[in-house]
Every structure is written in C-alpha cells, then in structure tokens.
Amino acid sequence: MANASKHTVKKHALIYKMLGNPKRLEILYRLCEGECSLKELEEMLGARKTNAVQHLGLMRLAGIVRVRYLNNQALYSIIDPRIVAHRKMLELLDL
C-alpha cells in the first residue's frame, strides 16, 4: 500500500474523519455488538433524533454503516466489521 492511489487516500481520510468524532465512535462501538435501532442509538447517545440521524447519515455516506427498515423502524449495522480493527490496536497500545 506504499503507493496508494489518490482515491484510496481520500477514502481513508474520510473514514478517519468520521471516526474522529466521539459520538460517531460511540455509535460504531455499539454497532460492533450487532444491529441497532435508531431509537436505541438515540437513548445511548443521549441525543435528539436529528443529531443521531445526522451522525448516521455521515457514516452512511462514508460507507461505514447501512440502514434497513423493518415495520417503519430504522435498523443500523456496520457494513464491514474490519472497520473496528483500529479499536483493538488502540486497546493494545493502551492509548
């Protein structure tokens, strides 16, 4: 990956930008445990629906999470579980 394309670098920068926000990290870590409803995420974050939806929308645009609808309920999940590998690395480094 020494000669990463500009497209790859931009995509990675966008993902790091998304993960640089504490609320979005909370969402990501919760979604590591499995699919979660918008209502559950709102309660966990202690945020209004509009705030949670904004974070989730940005994460969807970055290709980190996806949404599916079941009986008028939005359910969110991680697209690729490898996205959380950085968490394990940080825990090992004890940062």
Percent of the chain topping pLDDT 70: 97
> What pTM was estimated for this model as a whole?
0.80
Which helix H or strand E contains 76, and what residues bound it?
A: strand 73-78
Task: Give the orientation angle of helix 38-45 with respect to helix 22-31, to 10 degrees.
Answer: 130
- In angstroms, the CA 95 to CA 24 distance is 18
6-93 topology per CATH: Arc Repressor Mutant, subunit A (1.10.10)
Which helix H or strand E contains 91, and what residues bound it?
A: helix 85-93
Give tens-digit pLDDT for 41-69.
999 888 777 888 999 999 998 889 999 99
Taking all residues of the chain, what is their mean pLDDT, rounded to a whole number?
87
Domain ranges of the chain: 6-93
